[in-house]
Amino acid sequence: MSEQVQSIVEAVRSLDADQRRELMVALAAIEVSRPAVSTSRKQLVDSIRGKYRHVPTSSESFMNRKKEDTALESRP
């Protein structure tokens, strides 16, 4: 468990019963209020997925090349 989650759990343990109920209601509202992904958006994401798999470079390689280019350009 991360330190942040552990500190939250400890803080929740210090709440009284009414405060815990209030927290549970607030957490439930957050979960419910998440917007659903529309079918058209899901179809768009699915159609794009894997689009660049034929490109012979990784994003990491690309970023390394860009850093080199930037370093060359910033030389006096």
Give CA–CA dist 19/11, Å, rounded: 11
Q: What is the pLDDT of residue 34?
A: 67
Q: What is the pLDDT of residue 33?
A: 63
Q: What is the pLDDT of residue 46?
A: 84
For 20-64, the DSSP string reads HHHHHHHHHHHHHTSPPPPHHHHHHHHHHTTTTTTSSS-HHHHHH
Give the tens place of pLDDT for each residue, 4-62. 999 999 999 999 999 999 999 998 888 766 677 788 888 888 888 888 778 777 888 88
Domain residue extents for the chain: 3-73
- Whether residue 2 is predicted with pLDDT greater than 80 in this model: the reply is yes
